[in-house]
Amino acid sequence: MSSWARPQLVSRARVPVARYSSAATASQSNAVPAAVRSFDNQHKLPRLPIPSLAETAARYKKSLLPILNASELARAEKAVDEFVRPGGLGETLQGRLQEMDRTEKNSWLETIWLNKGYLEWREPSMINVNWWAQFKDSPQFNLDQAPTRGVISDVQIQRAANYASSLLTFNDLVNSQTLPAEYQKTTPLCMNQYKNQFGAYRVAEMPRDRIVTTWPTTANYITVMMRDQIFRVPVMGPQGERVSIKAIEQQLRNVVEAVNNTPVQEQQAAIGVLTSENRDTWAKARQTLLGLSPLNHASLASIDQSLFMICLDDYSSDRDIDVSHHNIFHAGNAHNRWFDKSMQFIFENNGRAGINGEHTPADAVIPGRILDELVRNEKNAEPAHPSHVQLGRIEAIKFVVNDDIKETIKQAEINAKKMIDNVDSCLIHFNEYGSNFLKSVKCSPDAYVQMVLQLAYYRHYGTWTPTYESASTRLFLGGRTETVRSCSVDSTTEKQRLLQKAIQTHLEYMMAASAGKGVDRHLLGLRSMMQTPEEQKSALIFQDPSYIQSMYFRLSSSNMSPGDNFWGGFGPVVPEGYGINYAIGKENIKFSISSLRSCKETDSREFRESILGALRDMKKTLA
């Protein structure tokens, strides 16, 4: 996700798609004994530390240097010093945080982060929280001769069934704990988030949503959408028996036949569009649905509890990847999608494919690892010794609706279209150099790209801006992410002799964040410990404008390297900002750049040119 700046209180850490950081891209199993099962190391992991007040204060004040003038900085430092003084409010809140840590299962941050970072956020999940990733095209596809609109093609069905089979295999590995435990060099990483992808879903409720995960995930069916019609589709036998890809293909063909043979007047309302709405609006509509009929209870449960969703689109987007990714991002109209599922896989009728994921259950490496396995194993997805067991019949998921629900769907379509039309998103596939060159000149590829973004922004706007990058904290039990404040006093110069210093400063912050010593999560935890209006009023550190300003991330970035098999993106996190996802390959660097058209200060395509210029000019500095 996300990583995204919600100025009122918290960065909305979506850490979208596979938001890898240099710390997150840990070696998977190359240093791991084969006998180490998925969760065998969990008991060895330390708990996430609570940084000292002095550590956080020092790092926080340093992060303010490039964005405040002298008088603003003096005022902010005074507020920080007052907060952390001996016997001050900071010590009281720190004590409460330490006490809470003793009662939480995994860490002091876990519940706070889920609620403040995700579940209390009321804006639509589509674009604002959900991430997208587009898969590398198969050489078997002829993208110049896409089937006509309205047709579900053989290549589409075949690829969807193939990926479904691979996903079932991955779920088997997680259920049986045979997915190899992961390490950063020789230090074990938390594997808990692998339990949070299959069968996971978000429930719209008030005043905050709920996330539901189960493990082991033993459902034997998936849900499939086509033209907004939803089906419960068994893909395993009643005892979890794995079947051939051909058997899954036939189930998908049965869905296509059922939709094609259903008269328009008998088709179900586009309930999925409601998942693109404001969370309170969707919560109210969901409660209305539940109150209308027991059938709606069963239908929502079938969707929620399915292993994952497959969306069959009876059309193809433009071959141009600058255009095609929009279909995966939001479908152009929010139809034929269910944005509350942790994973919904999208297949166009020319065979192009991608995923739209709900970000709450897991960060970066987790879906990224799954996606990488999917694409790499595309030719080897058949399960070993598939069973010939007869699969259950597909079932149409039906809803009882009233006029209120119908009207809410109409308004949701209007609201979704406004949101979608407001998003300006484009890509860069830069092929002039990549990590091989950067490593040859002894530059950290991730830190280098962060400096590229800083230079591009300064050239474009003539000023510096708070910048977010996510760092993984999976070295700790239940670890998720921490913010790397990439805009440092050392990155605010173009001089060649300071480039390496700026990169080193970035790496130091990345290492501190990965070690649980970042600024943002600790300040969030302290702020969450305030109990009275008097405490809130006296906490000048949070009242000072610099607090909001320093986490108003006009640049929200994430690294999903290497990007060979897929690339992705997410929406901007503030109205005047950019959402930038990048992937550093050996010989290339990919970017996605999003902004809002309603902001006259931003333009994704113009900023793309500034990034390209910075990429070329910074190489000259190193050559």
Distance, in Å, from the CA atom of 426 to the CA atom of 369, rounded to the nearest integer, reads 24
Describe the strand order of the beta sheet including 555-559 as a list of residue ranges: 423-430, 589-596, 578-584, 555-559, 467-472, 481-485
Angle at 421 between CA 417 and CA 422, to 5 degrees: 120
Distance, in Å, from the CA atom of 155 to the CA atom of 178, rounded to the nearest integer, reads 32
Distance, in Å, from the CA atom of 503 to the CA atom of 535, rounded to the nearest integer, reads 39
Residues 6+ positions from 511 with CB-CB distance below 8 Å? 23
Instruction: Look at residue 300 and give its three-state secondary structure.
Output: helix
- Locate 296 and state its tokens: 């709606």
State the alpha helices, DSSP H only, in 205-331: 245-260, 279-292, 294-305, 321-330
What is the gyration radius of the CA atoms in the chain, in angstroms?
A: 24
- Locate 257 and state its tokens: 């036949």
Query: What backbone phi and psi angles, to 5 degrees, belong to 610?
Result: -70, -40
The catalytic residues are: 359
- Locate 93 and state its tokens: 């809140």
CA dihedral 69, 71, 77, 80 (to 10 degrees): -100
CB atoms within 10 A of CB 417: 15
Distance, in Å, from the CA atom of 539 to the CA atom of 533, rounded to the nearest integer, reads 10
CB atoms within 10 A of CB 323: 13
Pairing of strands 578-584, 555-559: parallel
Q: Maximum Cα–Cα distance for the chain, whole Å?
A: 75
- Which one, of 407, 507, 502, lies nearest residue 452 by Cα? 502
